[in-house]
Structures are given as structure tokens and as C-alpha cells.
């Protein structure tokens, strides 16, 4: 038994084990002078320090030094398996080139695909491992990771096996997503009938191989004009659902195309991006269990003024999550608290809403809200300790790394620079 003691605030997010909506997003259930008891991988109790010290007199103590102790952040949208960074595209965009224009010229996702195909699984694993350590160093303890830079059966399986290899060796909780429908690969784009042939490959061969290998929990599709149409997205996701995968979607990122409506209609666990969501898309997500996962870092990094209408989504009753979208093209950041900053300054969330969006609602976007995202008895012992006195400082010190330590399932995630015993 371990007792986490001495935190100035314990932000528990305790409440129902499901996505929070509307005013529920503002109740972080903050406790002062509280301790958290951890037994093995789970939280045993949260309560007044004196009471828990009496109940568990032999427990080891972890001294939190007046900081803020909270649930580990849940990053429900990343593309962390990639080779080289794509810094040249940042300059190209600054000089006026558009994201989709860069992709149409064979850059963007295609550049990462060419690069990933040339690398071995071992090489990709060695590149990804320190990225996970960096994510954990900013407070994250659960990371969803997508494939999607392989786009052949062999290369998509290679990426998913890298995620499985990482999951077996990191204390972080990883959730693998198959994103074979991230792009139509160039070799199919240029061939007559190629588009249809890639669709057939996705549904007829790649999906069954992913499912047979038990390599993914979710299927995702980049549904966007110029990438996959709504009808193509429906075909892939219906097949994935029938094969037993839960569903995610890149929806209405750059143009409104009915993506959010489709995600809600299919019962997807989340619809992600949504910077260009329509009024009917907002209504559809408000009426569905599907979590609206917003990625404000992406629009910032692409230099776009548009941001998802977070207030309208929350006010309509949708469940809103935040995530980094960590990827080499549109959001190369591991700094989840910075995304909370953008949640407040760009999406106009309150600090409490931003925190809920990165904990309970992030877990809900992964179907994990009944066991992850809260400091409450029975929940996974996923904790983050920040060198701040008030949780509102988390989005405030923007860009700073205030995270002192993270634990996932009771195990330390970033042992370097760890001043607590
Ligand atoms: O979520 N929108 C599509 N996929 C990624 C970007 C991938 C890339 O540019 O490499 C995203 O932004
Ligand atoms: Fe993405």
C-alpha cells in the first residue's frame, strides 16, 4: 500500500464513470488535505489524510510537496509511430502552401508513408520509445496510437506490432488504432481503378489481418473531401464494427462534409478534429454517446484561424475531449498541458472543462471511462503530480513543463528527474 500525501489540491474528477456533459464538465471534485491510497495497480481510497494514515499505518508515503495531484492525462488521439519529422512543411506553409496542396504534391502523409515503409519495426520502436517518455513527462499516462503511415498490409501490421511491442515494455497504457484509411496511397491514386482497389484491400484483406492479429481496439478513417468520402468511410467503419472493432473518425477537420453526423449514426466512440463541423453535426453529437475530441494544437500549428466550436458543442450537450494529435505533420507536440492552454484561450473552455476534457472525457473517447480518468476507489492508479498550487495554473503557465511525476497502474512513468521517493 502507498499513500500519496501532502498535495495542496487533489483533483479527483470523481463522479460517474462515463463522459461528462454540459455543467458536469465543470465539477472537478477538488479536495484539500486529502490523501490517495494505492494498492498495486488500483486506487484503494481517497480521503482526509489523517483518516487514511490511521487506516493504513504501514503504508509507504509519497510526499507531494504541496503540488497538485490529479488523474494522469488521457491523450486519446496520436500518430506517434513515424520516422523522420517533417519540419520542411512548416516552412512551406509559412510561405503560403496549403496542407492539402502539400499532400497533393506527394508530401504530407505520403512523405511519412514513404519514410515508414523504409524502416524496420525495431527502428520505429526505438524512435517511438523516447516519444512516450516525453509524453509521460508532461503528465500523460494513457496514449492512443494510430497506424496510418504504412498503407500496405505489411506496413500497417508493422506499425501496429510496434505499438504492441511498446505496450509490452512501457508502464504507460497504450490503446492501438488501425488507420489504414489515412490516405489513398500514391501507387493506388495514380492507377486506373486504384481508389476502388485500395478500398477493397482495406475491407477485404487489411482489416481481417489486423483483427486476426488482435492488433487494434479501434478503427479510424480520415473522412475529408479529397481524402476519404463519407460513403467510403461508412464502408470501412461498418466492416470494422462487424469485425468487432470500436470506431473513431477524423471528421470535418478542414471542410464540413457530414463526418460528425456519420460518426454519431455509426455509434463511433469519438469523432475527432471537428474544426469545420456543421450545425447539424453539432446536433448529431449532442444526441449521441460519441465524444467530440478537439485538437486545437493542429489548427494552431497549421496556421489556421478556424477552431472547433467547443462552446457550441458543450452548450448543445455534447461530451468534449481534448487531445494532442501528436504527429509529424500537423501537431508535433508531446505537451498536453499546452493543449489545455489552447483549450482555454482558443476554444474558450474554462480551466475545469479543459481538465475534464483531458481526463474523464479522454478516457470516454477510448471507452475506458469506467476505470481510467478519475482518482476514485477501484480506478486505475494513473496519477500526475504538477508543481503548481491551483489546478487553474495547469493551462496558465503555457508551454512550461510543470509535471514532476506520473504513475500509470501504480508504476512510475517518468523516472528521470523524479524528486519524490
Ligand atoms: O490528425 N488529419 C489527418 N491526419 C493527421 C495528420 C497526419 C499528417 O499530416 O501526417 C491529423 O492531423
Ligand atoms: Fe489525427
Assign residue 66 the CATH number of its domain: 2.30.40.10
pLDDT of the residue at 419: 42
pLDDT of the residue at 415: 58
Decide: 112 in ligand 1 pocket, CB within 6 A. yes
One domain for residues 93 and 194: yes
> For the segment 37-46, what is each residue's pLDDT rounded down to a tens digit?
999 999 999 9
CA of residue 108 to ligand 1 center, whole Å: 8
Nearest atom, ligand 1, residue 331 CA: 12
> For the segment 203-246, what is each residue's pLDDT rounded down to a tens digit?
999 999 999 999 999 999 999 999 999 999 999 999 999 999 99
pLDDT of the residue at 99: 85
Q: Mutual orientation of helices 279-286 and 259-266 as an angle, nearest 10°?
A: 20
CA 36, CA 20: separation in Å to the nearest integer? 23
Q: Whose CA is nearest to atom 8 of ligand 1?
A: 329
CA of residue 77 to ligand 2 center, whole Å: 6
Decide: 148 in ligand 1 pocket, CB within 6 A. no
- Count helices and strands in the chain by DSSP H and E runs: 17, 18
One domain for residues 159 and 30: no
CA 173, CA 146: separation in Å to the nearest integer? 14
> What is the biggest distance separating any 2 CA atoms in the chain, rounded to whole angstroms?
74
Question: Could you identify the residue written with the cell 506517434?
Answer: 80
Nearest atom, ligand 1, residue 77 CA: 1
* Total domains, the chain: 2
Phi, psi dihedrals of residue 362, rounded to the nearest 5°: -65, -45
- The series of mean pLDDT values per 10 residues for the chain, 421 residues long, is 97 98 97 97 98 97 96 98 97 92 92 98 97 96 98 98 96 98 96 97 98 98 96 98 98 96 98 98 98 98 96 98 98 98 98 98 99 98 98 98 96 61 36
Distance of CA 327 to the CA centre of its chain: 11
Question: Could you identify the residue written with the cell 489523517?
Answer: 50
CA of residue 325 to ligand 2 center, whole Å: 5
Decide: 298 in ligand 1 pocket, CB within 6 A. yes
One domain for residues 300 and 245: yes
pLDDT of the residue at 407: 96
Decide: 325 in ligand 1 pocket, CB within 6 A. yes
Question: Does residue 48 form part of some domain?
Answer: yes
One domain for residues 78 and 64: no
Report CA torsion sign: 84, 86, 88, 91: negative
Decide: 198 in ligand 1 pocket, CB within 6 A. no
Which residue among 80, 185, 250, 323 has the greatest number of ligand 1 atoms within 8 angstroms of its CB, and so is best to mutate?
250
Question: Does residue 35 form part of some domain?
Answer: yes
CA of residue 175 to ligand 1 center, whole Å: 18
One domain for residues 290 and 406: no
Which ligand has the shortest distance to the CA of 149? Answer: 1
The whole-model pTM stands at: 0.97
One domain for residues 213 and 269: yes
One domain for residues 240 and 286: yes
CA of residue 420 to ligand 2 center, whole Å: 35
CATH number of residue 225's parent domain: 3.20.20.140
One domain for residues 30 and 125: no
One domain for residues 205 and 302: yes
CA of residue 143 to ligand 2 center, whole Å: 13
One domain for residues 98 and 133: yes
CA 382, CA 384: separation in Å to the nearest integer? 7
One domain for residues 297 and 318: yes
Q: Which residues of 205-241 are buried (b: 16+ CB within 10 A; e: fewer)?
A: ebbebbbeeebbbbbbbbbbeebbbbebbbbbbebbe
Decide: 330 in ligand 1 pocket, CB within 6 A. yes
- 222's grid cell: 480520415
Question: Does residue 181 form part of some domain?
Answer: yes
Task: List, as own/partner pairs, every contact residues 213-217 make where C-beta atoms lie below 8 angstroms and the sequence separation is at least 24, other chains included.
Answer: 213/157, 213/160, 213/161, 215/157, 215/160, 215/161, 215/163, 215/164, 215/176, 215/178, 216/147, 216/160, 216/176, 216/177, 216/178, 216/245, 217/175, 217/176, 217/177, 217/245, 217/246, 217/366, 217/367
Q: Whose CA is nearest to atom 3 of ligand 1?
A: 222
Find the domain containing 67 and state its range: 2-71+374-414
> Residue 113 belongs to what H/E stretch?
helix 109-118
Question: Does residue 353 form part of some domain?
Answer: yes
Which residue among 79, 147, 181, 304 has the greatest number of ligand 1 atoms within 8 angstroms of its CB, and so is best to mutate?
79
What percentage of the chain carries pLDDT values higher than 90?
A: 96
- 404's grid cell: 514532476
Decide: 327 in ligand 1 pocket, CB within 6 A. yes
Q: Are 361 and 289 spatial neighbours (Cβ–Cβ below 8 Å)?
A: no
Amino acid at each position: 500500500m502507498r499513500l500519496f500525501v501532502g498535495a495542496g489540491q487533489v483533483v479527483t474528477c470523481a463522479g460517474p464513470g462515463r463522459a461528462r456533459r454540459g455543467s458536469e464538465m465543470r465539477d472537478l471534485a477538488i479536495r484539500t488535505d486529502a490523501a490517495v491510497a494505492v494498492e498495486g495497480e488500483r486506487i484503494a481510497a481517497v480521503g482526509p489524510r489523517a483518516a487514511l494514515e490511521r487506516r493504513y499505518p504501514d503504508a509507504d508515503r509519497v510526499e507531494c510537496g504541496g503540488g497538485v495531484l490529479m488523474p494522469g492525462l488521457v491523450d486519446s488521439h496520436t500518430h506517434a509511430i513515424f520516422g523522420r519529422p517533417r519540419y520542411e512543411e512548416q516552412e512551406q506553409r509559412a510561405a503560403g502552401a496549403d496542407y492539402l496542396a502539400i499532400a497533393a504534391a506527394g508530401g504530407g502523409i505520403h512523405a511519412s508513408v514513404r519514410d515508414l515503409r523504409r524502416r524496420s519495426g525495431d527502428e520505429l520502436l526505438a524512435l517511438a520509445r523516447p516519444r512516450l517518455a516525453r509524453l509521460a513527462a508532461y503528465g500523460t499516462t494513457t496514449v492512443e496510437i494510430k497506424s496510418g503511415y504504412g498503407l500496405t498490409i505489411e506496413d500497417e501490421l508493422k506499425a501496429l506490432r510496434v505499438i504492441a511491442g511498446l505496450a509490452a515494455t512501457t508502464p504507460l497504457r497504450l490503446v492501438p488504432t488501425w488507420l489504414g484509411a489515412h490516405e489513398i496511397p500514391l501507387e493506388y491514386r495514380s492507377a486506373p481503378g486504384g481508389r476502388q482497389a485500395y478500398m477493397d484491400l482495406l475491407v477485404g484483406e487489411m482489416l481481417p489481418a489486423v483483427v486476426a492479429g488482435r492488433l487494434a481496439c479501434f478503427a479510424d478513417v480520415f473522412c475529408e473531401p479529397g481524402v476519404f468520402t463519407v460513403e467510403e468511410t461508412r464502408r470501412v467503419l461498418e466492416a470494422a464494427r462487424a469485425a468487432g472493432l470500436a470506431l473513431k473518425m477524423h471528421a470535418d477537420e478542414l471542410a464540413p462534409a457530414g463526418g460528425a453526423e456519420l460518426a454519431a449514426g455509426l455509434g463511433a466512440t469519438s469523432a475527432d478534429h471537428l474544426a469545420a463541423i456543421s450545425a447539424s453535426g453539432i446536433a448529431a453529437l449532442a444526441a449521441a454517446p460519441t465524444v467530440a475530441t478537439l485538437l486545437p494544437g493542429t489548427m494552431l500549428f497549421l496556421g489556421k484561424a478556424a477552431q472547433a466550436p467547443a462552446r457550441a458543442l458543450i452548450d448543445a450537450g455534447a461530451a468534449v475531449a481534448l487531445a494532442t494529435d501528436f504527429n509529424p505533420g500537423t501537431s508535433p507536440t508531446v505537451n498536453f498541458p499546452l493543449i489545455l492552454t489552447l483549450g482555454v484561450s482558443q476554444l474558450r473552455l474554462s480551466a475545469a472543462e479543459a481538465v475534464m476534457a483531458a481526463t474523464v472525457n479522454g478516457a470516454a473517447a477510448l471507452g475506458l471511462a469506467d476505470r481510467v480518468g478519475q482518482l476514485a476507489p477501484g480506478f486505475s492508479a494513473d496519477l500526475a503530480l504538477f508543481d503548481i498550487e491551483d489546478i487553474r495554473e495547469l493551462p496558465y503557465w503555457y508551454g512550461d513543463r510543470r509535471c514532476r511525476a506520473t504513475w500509470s497502474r501504480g508504476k512510475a512513468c517518468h523516472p528521470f528527474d523524479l524528486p519524490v521517493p
